[in-house]
Amino acid sequence: MRQAGAYSGILSGGGISGRTGPHLLPLARIKKIMKKSSVDVKMISGEAPLVFSKACELFIEELTKRSWNMTIQGKRRTVHKEDVASAVVTTDVFDFLIDLVHPNASDHPSLNEEYMDKKQ
Interaction site with other proteins (CB under 8 A): 1, 3, 6-7, 9-11, 13-14, 16, 20, 24-26, 29-30, 32-34, 36-38, 40-45, 47-48, 50-52, 54-61, 63-65, 67-68, 71, 77-81, 83-85, 88, 92-94, 96-97, 100-101
Give the residue with the Cβ less far from other proteins, 7 or 113: 7
Going by C-alpha positions, the residue among 53, 60, 1, 59 that lies closest to residue 22 is 53
Instruction: Report the distance separating Cα 60 and Cα 33, nearest Å.
Output: 16
Instruction: Report the distance separating Cα 7 and Cα 62, nearest Å.
Output: 26
CB of 120 to other proteins, least distance (A): 24
